[in-house]
Amino acid sequence: MRAAQMLGTPRRRLVGEVVLLSALPFIVVGLRTAVGISFYTLVAAELAGAFAGIFYRIQLAQQNMQTGLVFAGLAALGLISFIADRCFAMLAQRLVWWR
């Protein structure tokens, strides 16, 4: 920031191009972490009392001792989480291209 100020960069441009662009990689990492945590929250919310959803189906299969369906549901949750993470990583790489 001091170098940009010494070179006479206007305050508005300093905030937009120096501060925001230097903070953007950290913001993107926080958002990517939030995407992963949201899947834990989804499972916890469905466990708390949902009557539909993947984890609800896993819970029904577990109660009926259908192990194959339990593993299929867990694999589906893992696959959805993995795809969401990869999509966000690709978006982040396009957004923070200088990193």
pLDDT one-digit tens code per residue, 36-55: 898 888 888 887 877 888 88
pLDDT grade for 19, boundaries at 50, 70 and 90: confident
Which class for 32: exposed (0-12), middle (13-18), buried (19 or more C-beta within 10 A)? middle
- Rounded CA gap, 53 and 59, in Å? 10
Q: Give the mean pLDDT of 26-42.
A: 88
Which class for 73: exposed (0-12), middle (13-18), buried (19 or more C-beta within 10 A)? buried
Q: Give the mean pLDDT of 55-62.
A: 89
- For the chain, the distance separating the N- and C-terminal CA atoms, rounded to the nearest angstrom, is 18
- pLDDT higher than threshold 70 for residue 30: yes
User: What is the enclosing helix (H) or strand (E) of 25?
Assistant: helix 20-49
**Model pLDDT, residue 99:** 65
Longest dimension (CA), the chain: 71
Q: pTM for this structure? A: 0.71
